[in-house]
Amino acid sequence: PKTFEQAAGFLRIRGGDNPLDVSGVHPETYPLVEKALGLLKRPAQEVIGRSEVLRTLKPELLADERFGLITVKDVLAELEKPGRDPRPDFKVARFNDGIEDVKDLQPGMLLEGTVSNVAQFGAFVDLGVHQDGLIHVSQLSNKFVNDAREVVKTGDIVKVKVLEVDL
């Protein structure tokens, strides 16, 4: 069914019938892998996770009208490191212990936070106190900045110094 086709590249089946089922290789590209295995004259079990073997292949020789060079390189990369998460590392701010409310903030404190919104006049930062702090555009850089969006973006992890607290 269509749903399986769309999800298959994200599924990992341990102990499946095909050794490729444990990898992120989409079943539609299994013929490409079979072609590579034929060139290597080895079964999948001897190739998966073995970059020294896979790197002997020339991706250009595997590319054709059905599977372009980019697809070939992606499939070979997945075979080298089956199951790796292709997403970049997700970083989160480390909130300070004991700082749980705006009343806990004191001028001079150094904290880490996540930029939650950016406007021309400044950036709003989640410091873990249930109310975002504002960094005025004039405090974002040592040089003149006309628009806060030139310096930070939503999701950035920043270190801040509390200048004042409005309760």
pLDDT score recorded for residue 24: 87
Q: 70: helix, coil or strand? A: helix
* Its pTM surpasses 0.85: no
Q: Is the pLDDT of residue 85 over 80?
A: no
Of 138, 142, 108, nearest to 123 (Cα)? 138
Domain boundaries, the chain: 2-80, 102-161
Choose the CATH number for 102-161 among 2.60.40.10, 2.40.110.10, 3.40.50.300, 2.40.50.140: 2.40.50.140
User: Which H helix or E strand runs over 133?
Assistant: strand 133-136
Q: Is the pLDDT of residue 83 over 90?
A: no
Higher pLDDT pick, 5 / 165: 165
pLDDT in tens, 89-110: 778 899 999 999 999 999 999 9
The CATH class that applies to domain 2-80 reads mainly alpha
